[in-house]
Amino acid sequence: MGWKRLEEMDLRGKRVLTRVDINVPVSDGRVSDATRIERIVPTVNAILEAGGTPILLAHFGRPKGRPDPALSLGVVLPALERALGRGVFFVEAPIGDGAREEIASIRAKDGADAPVILLENVRFYPGETANEDGFCDALAALGDVYCNDAFSAAHRAHASTEGLARRLPACAGRLMEAELSALEAALGKPARPVAAVVGGAKVSTKLDLLSNLVTRVDHLIIGGGMANTFLHAQGVAIGTSLAEKDLADTARRILDEAERAGCTIHLPVDLVVAREFRAEAPHEIVARDECPPDAMILDAGPESVRAIVELLGRCKTLVWNGPLGAFEIPPFDTATNGAAREAAVLTAAGQLVSVAGGGDTVAALNQAGAADGFSYVSTAGGAFLEWMEGKTLPGVAALGG
């Protein structure tokens, strides 16, 4: 672990520039899901308890480098104040002499002991996404210490995620620390055997992911539409199923890479097929090589689920990304639900370290009622996937990790 924790920093009397992810959904001018806001509370409270002043940096939407009143972070203030149980000061101009003076004034106010300050959307400035030196310097002038608590933005080399870490004493916040620790346990130095579940519609979107995983895990379980492409590549008839048949050679290459690396790839051994893509469509269970020519594969069958459950019982670590079938429409969520719930049971029993994230994964695990049972569920999306692909995340590398 090359990065520093909050506890390793002297924060008393310091201005702590804290990068957070509060890019939350808003409906009718109100935050409709405050989950991301609630997850930064431990970091903000830790800074306050250490005597520091948290100055929150965040983006909201994609304003393309210019002010947009519709994308002002002012809309999140009520939800942020509710989550923290205290008032939050809002600074509308996050850089320049005016910002420094306003922050100094807030900190000096009577009754404003250790205030929480939120700066306006950093993406109102083109220097943020360009990681421009002058913008980085202007932000750095507002603080004494930098804390990154936004793993979800760590795959971007922006001023507030990467540039500041190179200008100020830097550390990881509580949420970032939890994320990095979970990822280290999952693929950095995992307990073996390690299994990975990779599902979803297209192989083409996860080529780097698959190529990296076959060199790092012992078992790779492939589901969803991706599995259809692999079955087709093996000469299995898949009827009218969603598949990228033009990637058959790529699928065979990944199978060969896995064999050379000692990774066993697991594909469905039986299938749930239907003639229509809709909830509760008439369906049947068939053997892997018996898909009717006019049917589509929408889920893995019960024998496949039993095989996955048995495999998970023999593994020590699980990394999960993507559903095993068309989980959005019952009953084609059965395989995802069954395997996810078993992973949660094994985790609760202390037999499995389970880390999940990316894409539809969070929704699928929540729908299965299994998310709370996993060791860690990341909401980071793109950053989680790039980490699984073995890529360097600029926001983490800048912390020394």
Is residue 316 among the annotated active site residues? no
Write down the catalytic residue from 199, 239, 359, 395.
359
**199 counts as catalytic:** no
Question: Annotated binding residue at 22?
Answer: yes
59 is in an annotated binding site: yes
Q: Would the annotation count 123 as a binding residue?
A: yes
Of the candidates 36, 174, 216, 288, the residue annotated as catalytic is: 36
Find the catalytic residue in 51, 74, 382, 401.
Answer: 382
Is 61 labeled as ligand-binding?
yes
Residue 358 assigned as binding residue? yes
Task: Say if residue 278 carries a ligand binding annotation.
Answer: no
Instruction: State yes or no: 60 annotated in a binding site.
Output: yes
Sequence-ordered list of residues with C-beta below 8 angstroms from that of 322, at least 6 positions apart, any chain: 197, 198, 199, 200, 206, 223, 224, 226, 358, 359, 360, 361, 364
3-class SS letters over the chain: CCCCEHHHCCCCCCEEEEECCCCCCEECCEECCCHHHHHCHHHHHHHHHCCCEEEEECCCCCCCCCCCHHHCHHHHHHHHHHHHCCCCEEECCCCCHHHHHHHHHHHHCCCCCCCCEEECCHHHCHHHHHCCHHHHHHHHCCCCEEEECCHHHCCCCCHHHHHHHHCCCEEECHHHHHHHHHHHHHHHCCCCCEEEEECCCCCHHHHHHHHHHCCCCCEEEECHHHHHHHHHHCCCCCCCCCCCHHHHHHHHHHHHHHHHHCCEEECCCEEEEECCCCCCCCEEEEECCCCCCCCEEEEECHHHHHHHHHHHHHCCEEEEECCCCCCCCCCCCHHHHHHHHHHHHHHHCCCCEEEEECCCHHHHHHHHCCHHHCCEEECCCHHHHHHHCCCCCHHHHCCCC
- 36 as an active site residue: the answer is yes
Peptide bond into 331 cis (omega under 30): yes
Q: What is the spatial distance between Cα 138 and Cα 133, in angstroms, rounded to a whole number?
A: 9
Q: Out of 4, 5, 100, 202, which one is annotated catalytic?
A: 202
Give the pairing type, strands 270-274 and 296-300.
Answer: antiparallel
**Is 4 marked as binding a ligand?**
no
Annotated binding-site residue? 366:
no
Q: Is 14 a catalytic residue?
A: no
In degrees and rounded to multiples of 5, residue 284 shows phi and psi of -145, 160
The reply to whether 135 sits in an annotated binding site is no
Q: Rounded CA gap, 197 and 360, in Å?
A: 13
Q: Which residues are catalytic?
A: 36, 202, 359, 382
Annotated binding-site positions for ATP: 206, 328, 358-361
Annotated binding-site positions for (2R)-3-phosphoglycerate: 36, 123, 156
Annotated binding-site positions: 21-23, 36, 59-62, 123, 156, 206, 328, 358-361
Annotated binding-site positions for substrate: 21-23, 36, 59-62, 123, 156
